[in-house]
Structure 1
Amino acid sequence: MNENDTLPPERPAEAPAAAPTVGAATPAAGSAAWERSAMEKLLFATLEEQKAQRRWRTFTRLAWLAFFIFLVWSLTWKGNVSGEKLAPHTAVIEIEGEIGPKSESSAEFIVAAAKAAFEDEGAQGVVLLINSPGGSPVQAGIINDELRRLKAKYKKPLYAVVEESCASAAYYIAVSADRIFVDKASIVGSIGVLMEGFGFVGLMEKLGVERRLLTAGENKGFLDPFSPQTDRHREHAQQMLDVVHRQFIDVVKTGRGKRLKADMPELFSGLFWTGQQAVDLGLADQLGNLDFVAREVIKAEDLVDYTRRENVAERLAKRFGAAVGEGAVKALRTVQPLR
């Protein structure tokens, strides 16, 4: 090769590839790490949620268990009168408000209280503390019969003390007592029976509303407020009222005997009188309150209340039972019929 020959330029040497940095993550490796971290967080969150649900279920079960234990205890606990049972005292049973099967002045409650009072050896006498406008003659009849039976069985005196009012069914109960004490301004009497309702026939005619009532039995629509009242139905209803009224009168005469002023024609007409007038008519014996009867008549000033009242647990039980029953009915309604 001659000196004049031109040599091709030398290619620069390629720089060696840089060695990968230790610890640097490739895009694929970074994505995998992020996914693994997200999965771990999701898994831990799921575990924590499951733990929380288990704790809540356990708490709920314990709460229901405590509720049912409290419910059973409340239903079986009869009140704290046992500590005074052997000491001489006057047993008091309150009859307050309307007398009916769903009230605290029901035959169930009053009879239970009366049994406990008469059976107690420390009770020197039993007092019915009455403040009621009346109510169901059926409930009053049951109470009257049971009180008379208990008096005869245990040979203990029974007195009635009237506060504000003792009318209708309340007086039906009061005549079972040996003596009736009233305040001079008390309301006493109303020895009668009523059946009340409304009739909307004329209003429906003015509004152009037609009543469509289908019955199997010609008297099934008896006392329907949207149908005209017939003379036959009115007569039948009056006969029923007269029968119950006669029963009321017989009970009063049996309880009061010769103390009644029989020559008073309005005595059983449904009228009521003040306490002082009731004493003059023989419907009551004398003026006096609860303390007076306990101190001067029974000779036992200590008062022990035997009144049976519905407690909180019983109200909760009724509501709970009603809710369960309603739920069962709804569930049955949603069940598809068999084919």
Structure 2
Amino acid sequence: MSWTEEEQDKKESQAVSSSSLQAEEHKPVDNTDAKLWQLLEKTLSDTVVEKRRARRWKIFFRFTTLFFIAAVIGVATVQMTPSTAGLDKDTVAIIPMRGVIGSGADIEASDYLQLLDEAYRRHNLTGVVIEMNSPGGSPVHAGIIYDAIRQKESLYPNIPVIVVVEDLAASGGYYIASAANEIYADKASLVGSIGVISAGWDASELLDKIGVERRTFTAGRNKDFLDPFVPMSKEGKEKWQAVLDETHQQFIHAVKVGRGERLTITDDVFSGMVFTGAQAEQIGLIDGLSSAHNLLKTRFANATPIVFAPEHDPWEKVAKEFGVQFATKILTSFSLH
């Protein structure tokens, strides 16, 4: 058997007509009864119309649902299918590094080590371009990323790693950049700041002036040497300075290894001073003046750029902002700036 909407409508129309004829045949003479029959006939007619509308909307929603399901399947199929660009054409990885370096910060070592691994898994990778814009941060995370880049360069010597500085590659940002095969920047970019800083204050006399006694219990004579309400001893100053000096030497060594003979060592290079891109080129901190756009057009004109960036939940940053602990603050104060 077959069924169509037209046939169903025809049957319902015939039923209404039949009811109308029967009503006409048995139509009483009374005006009140006539009005009732007319009302009944109108009600039946309206019911048929509503049924027609309901069927049409049902068919519409069925087709819409079917189309949506087909679209979802199509998108999933495209995503699961290997990219033709990745199979047929050379690619260049773009890795943006923007913000402060450290645990829970914008540039976290674990995130970027994973991104590097993902980029190098592409068999047709011809280069890695890191877009750097960082004031620095944790020397630990900067060192981890530095070592990871150097390791990739030794394993894949034919794939150059190039850092392009945007506004800033200072301190930890330059620590990471110095691992690259080449570094480029704008003439007005700020580059360098090869030094270490630990900032704090001495408020040991403040409590006495306001009549407050602070009670702190420690095990170990130097446990509270960074406490701003306790005078720092000579021993504490000497040992903390030794820590900073050692970290500075690690930074200097990394830069010397990364830049090699291109670096011209002057009194200012490792003093923590920052340089413009034009000045940095003269002393070998960078290899030239360029932008990521120009570099891609000239060096990787035939390669497809693919961006590798960490994905974060929008609420993750909020959670991190409110979840900072005291230990994190202490480590943050011991940063490369």
| TM-score, normalised via structure 2 length | 0.67
Alignment partner of 1:254 out of 242, 254, 257: 257
Q: Distance in 1 between matches of 2:117 and 2:242?
A: 36
- The correspondence of residues 198-209 of structure 1 with structure 2, limited to 5 A, is 198-209=201-212
Name the SS of the counterpart of 1:85 in structure 2: helix
Q: Distance in 2 between matches of 1:82 and 1:108?
A: 26
User: What do the CA deviations read for 1:53-112 (whole angstroms, capped 9, x no partner)?
Assistant: xxxxxxxxxxxxxxxxxxxxxxxxxx9996243332221001000011112311111111
Aligned residue in 2 for 1:166: 169
Length, aligned pairs only: 240
Q: Distance in 1 between matches of 2:180 and 2:278?
A: 18
Q: Is the Cα–Cα contact under 8 Å of residues 147 and 176 in structure 1 kept in the other structure?
A: yes
Q: Distance in 2 between matches of 1:160 and 1:120?
A: 20
User: What do the CA deviations read for 1:134-154 (whole angstroms, capped 9, x no partner)?
Assistant: 111100111011111112212
Alignment partner of 1:279 out of 264, 278, 281: 281
Q: Is the Cα–Cα contact under 8 Å of residues 104 and 309 in structure 1 kept in the other structure?
A: no
Q: Distance in 2 between matches of 1:81 and 1:153?
A: 29
Q: Is the Cα–Cα contact under 8 Å of residues 119 and 154 in structure 1 kept in the other structure?
A: no
Q: Is the Cα–Cα contact under 8 Å of residues 205 and 229 in structure 2 kept in the other structure?
A: no
What displacement does 1:205 show?
Answer: 2.0
What displacement does 1:217 show?
Answer: 1.6
Q: Distance in 1 between matches of 2:178 and 2:90?
A: 26
Q: Distance in 1 between matches of 2:80 and 2:303?
A: 19
Aligned residue in 2 for 1:113: 115
User: What do the CA deviations read for 1:141-177 (whole angstroms, capped 9, x no partner)?
Assistant: 1101111111221231100000000000010100111
Q: 1:99 to 1:80 in 2, by over 3 A?
A: farther
What displacement does 1:302 show?
Answer: 3.1
Q: 1:300 to 1:170 in 2, by over 3 A?
A: farther
Q: Is the Cα–Cα contact under 8 Å of residues 91 and 305 in structure 1 kept in the other structure?
A: yes
Q: 1:292 to 1:220 in 2, by over 3 A?
A: same
Residue identity (%): 39
The AA in structure 1 aligned to 2:170 is A
Q: Distance in 2 between matches of 1:299 and 1:149?
A: 26
Q: Distance in 1 between matches of 2:275 and 2:301?
A: 30
Q: Which runs of 4+ in 1 moved over 2 A?
A: 79-87, 297-302
Matched, 1:94 2:96: yes
Name the SS of the counterpart of 2:198 in structure 1: coil
Q: Distance in 1 between matches of 2:145 and 2:86?
A: 23
Structure with max Cα Rg: 1
Give unpaired runs (5+ residues) of structure 2: 1-78, 324-337
RMSD (Å) for aligned C-alpha atoms: 2.3
Matched, 1:238 2:241: yes
Name the SS of the counterpart of 2:197 in structure 1: coil
Q: Distance in 2 between matches of 1:81 and 1:269?
A: 53
Q: Distance in 2 between matches of 1:248 and 1:266?
A: 15
Q: Distance in 1 between matches of 2:128 and 2:86?
A: 13
Aligned residue in 2 for 1:187: 190
Q: Distance in 2 between matches of 1:179 and 1:245?
A: 23
Q: Is the Cα–Cα contact under 8 Å of residues 104 and 310 in structure 1 kept in the other structure?
A: no
Q: 1:82 to 1:209 in 2, by over 3 A?
A: farther
Aligned residue in 1 for 2:179: 176
